[in-house]
Amino acid sequence: MLQAGSRVNIIRPYLKTHFRVTCSVTKPLEILTRHKLTAQEASACFSILSQRLPIDNYLSKPSTSLDAHLRQAHSDIKVPDFCRYRRKQVRDPASCSKESEASRKVMTYGMAVGCGMVSMYCAKTVVHELVSSMGPSADVLALSKVEINLGEEFPEGKCVTMKWRGKPLFVRHRTAEEIDREQKVDISKLRDPQHDSDRVKRPEWLVLIGVCTHLGCVPIANQGDFGGYYCPCHGSHFDCSGRVRKGPAPRNLEVPYYEFPEDDLLVVG
């Protein structure tokens, strides 16, 4: 019995209850008219006011010893309904959402992937237009390449000078004697060693940029001590392969990029 009594003392604070009394306003309030109180009525003011207060029909609310907040119920508050923003599969709170999970994910991921692809395409277009705007214009690109028809107008031994990218371009149709002579040159004796076969794609056609590597002068074709090109400004001599053989020029004449798409067509650039 003593042990039971001690255990009751432990849970006694949680078993203790109290009553909270709230007045139920069933009697409407009255607006007092202006009344001049006498001395006798003034002494009985407290009793007069207490009689007019709505003190009838008290409501009691039992609770535990813990403090509880009293919540007033309001019937005029409208709870917002979010069904407009919910999908049809999840509007019913009693239905299981796992059954429609796959279809909802497919829709969400599909829209995400689609928007991502459209964004990437738009970004690619913007980057392409930006890079294109910073590149050379169409007229500049047209001048970057030159097509030369190698027909009867280019006999052997003839050297033609034309303009390419603002620079003189030498196109020479070499004879068999010139080809044989340039291929037999000992490259160990050259200032800028380079074999003739490394400077031409076809032995009979020599394509050079006509700018001297010394100070940028324009050499003269079929002149000089080696029958190739001669720079009259400072006396540099080049052979029929465009290699420097004499004079202050430090390097050979530059060979541009060119190709032969057809037998009688030369494209430089």
Yes or no: say if 210 and 167 are a contact pair by the CB < 8 Å rule: yes
Written as one letter, the residue type at 100 is S
User: Which tokens sit at 115?
Assistant: 């928007």
Q: So what's the pLDDT on residue 69? A: 59
Strands 146-149 and 159-164: unpaired
Structure tokens that stand for 109 in this block: 């991921």
Fold of 146-268: Rieske Iron-sulfur Protein (2.102.10)
Instruction: Copy the structure tokens of residue 27.
Output: 């009697």
Residues assigned a catalytic role: 234
Number of CB atoms found within 10 A of residue 125's CB:
10
Residues β-bridged to residue 149: 265
CA dist 213 and 220 (Å) reads: 14
DSSP structure class, residue 235: T
The pLDDT value recorded for residue 268 is 85
- Please state, as a whole number, how many other Cβ atoms lie within 10 Å of the Cβ of residue 208: 25
- Whole-Å CA distances, 1 to 11, 16, 40: 16, 21, 64
pLDDT tens, residue order, the chain (269 aa): 445 555 656 655 555 554 454 444 445 555 656 666 666 665 566 566 656 555 554 444 444 555 555 666 667 777 777 878 887 777 777 777 777 777 778 888 888 999 999 999 999 999 998 888 887 676 666 667 888 888 767 788 888 888 888 788 888 888 888 888 888 888 888 888 888 888 888 888 888 988 888 888 888 888 888 888 998 888 899 988 889 888 888 889 888 888 888 888 888 87
**What pTM, to 2 d.p., does this model score?**
0.47
Domain locations in the chain as residue ranges: 2-31+38-64, 146-268
